[in-house]
């Protein structure tokens, strides 16, 4: 890897994301000055093996101990492996693997040491993106909204647009492209909508020994239990005014709610819960977006997409419809945020995480200089 001047101009940035679905590591390159996106580069995916996933699952919800150490080793090794497949870049944004997220309590924990990664690679690494936001009163999540703002400008959106990421947890960003900066009041609203793929994946693994309901095949054969959905939506979370965020396990009892349902009915109900949470969430937007663009694994589930289109009265499309990459958008976001951190630009604001004022969150570990906070 080589190192250019990351303080000015357009740079080649590599972003790394390992999400709450625990499926693997996404890595993607963009060219950016920290404001706009000049070009999209290559992307790669490195899946976690079933054995690695078991280690990561054992560490979920933990803040310390042998399980956390073991998870960090897997995360770091997987990231080194995926990085090796890229041409030289100027800077890396390393998110790590979220193991615990309690912004009103112990804080937030992402496994993986960005400083050690930088030492091995010899290139500046930006990491620990969430802690500064939490320390300033924010939720620490979601963090992709500032990149969504850049994407809305990239696709020349003229009316408000929604970006819906359906990973382990769902999150929504409302973007009004009429504003010039993402931290301006009114430019963004962002929050976690509710459980998405995580409970579906957990149930599929527990009952059938497979990682996911591929293509919604099982959900498509099942009947939805509306009573279970009503019970879930009665949670105070859904009436809370955003910004707001969730830990992967905040709705960990969902599989208990569908315990007595047949496999297909249980998966159909969990799939409908994901969609119902989104439909409830968009009611918090200042006004209905002109279009909802879906990213993350959920966009590949035809049952999810069909349910969304049935529930919402505006177009719902995968982000590929506007030339974006739904597999790599989150990884690209951390490439973008890495450049913003290196240049002292905000990465979150009151409308995205509830932080008291715009925050530049992250640590810059540069093997050529002393490590420093962003």
User: For helices 66-83 and 50-59, what crossing angle results, to 10°?
Assistant: 140
Q: How far apart are CA 256 and CA 261, in angstroms?
A: 10
Q: Which of 242, 194, 195 is nearest to 350 (CA)?
A: 242
Residue 341, CA distances (Å) to 188, 221, 261, 365 in order: 19, 47, 47, 11
Residue with tokens 């349902």: 261
Tokens coding 296:
């993350």
Q: What is the DSSP string of 218-285?
A: TGGGS---HHHHHHHHTSGGGGSPSS----TTTTTTHHHHTTTS-HHHHHHHHHHHHHHHHHHHGGGS
Q: In the prediction, which pLDDT does 374 show?
A: 46
Residues of the chain short of pLDDT 70, as ranges, are: 1-5, 368-374
Q: What local confidence, expressed as pLDDT, does residue 2 receive?
A: 42
Query: What pLDDT does 370 receive?
Result: 46
Angle, vertex CA 214, rays to CA 208 and CA 215, nearest 5 = 140
Residue 280 CA, distance from chain mean position: 19
Domains of the chain, earliest start first: 11-141+328-373 (3.30.420.40), 156-322 (3.30.420.40)
Rounded to whole angstroms, the Cα distance separating 134 from 119 reads: 27
């Amino acid at each position: 890897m080589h190192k250019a001047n990351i303080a000015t101009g357009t740079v080649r940035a590599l972003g790394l994301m390992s999400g709450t679905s625990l499926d693997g590591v996404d890595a993607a390159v963009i060219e950016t000055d920290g404001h706009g996106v000049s070009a999209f580069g290559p992307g790669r995916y490195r899946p976690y093996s079933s054995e690695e996933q078991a280690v990561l699952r054992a560490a979920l919800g933990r803040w310390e101990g042998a399980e956390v150490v073991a998870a960090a080793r897997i995360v770091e090794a997987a990231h080194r492996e995926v990085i090796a497949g890229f041409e030289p870049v100027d800077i890396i944004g390393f998110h790590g693997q979220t193991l615990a997220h309690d912004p009103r309590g112990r804080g937030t924990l992402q496994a993986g040491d960005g400083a050690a990664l930088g030492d091995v690679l010899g290139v500046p690494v930006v990491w620990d993106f969430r802690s500064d936001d939490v320390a300033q009163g924010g939720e620490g999540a979601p963090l992709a909204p500032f990149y969504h703002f850049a994407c809305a400008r990239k696709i020349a959106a003229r009316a408000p647009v929604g970006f819906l990421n359906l990973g382990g947890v769902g999150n929504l960003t409302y973007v009004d492209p009429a504003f010039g900066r993402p931290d301006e009041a009114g430019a963004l609203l962002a929050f976690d909508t509710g459980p998405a793929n995580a409970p579906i994946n957990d149930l599929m693994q527990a009952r059938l020994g497979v990682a996911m309901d591929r293509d919604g095949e099982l959900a498509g054969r099942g009947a939805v239990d509306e009573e279970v959905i009503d019970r879930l939506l009665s949670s105070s979370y859904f009436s809370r005014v955003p910004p707001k965020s969730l830990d992967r396990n905040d709705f960990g009892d969902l599989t208990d709610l569908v315990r007595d349902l047949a496999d297909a009915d249980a998966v159909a109900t969990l799939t409908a819960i994901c969609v119902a949470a989104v439909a409830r969430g968009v009611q918090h937007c200042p006004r209905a977006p002109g279009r909802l663009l879906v990213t993350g694994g959920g966009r590949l589930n035809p049952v999810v997409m069909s349910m969304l289109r049935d529930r919402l009265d505006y177009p719902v499309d995968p982000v590929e419809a506007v030339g974006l990459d739904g597999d790599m958008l989150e990884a690209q976001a951390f490439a973008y945020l890495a450049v913003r951190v290196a240049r002292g630009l905000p990465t979150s604001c009151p409308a995205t995480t509830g932080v008291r004022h715009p925050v530049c969150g992250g640590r810059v570990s540069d093997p050529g200089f002393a490590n420093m906070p962003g």
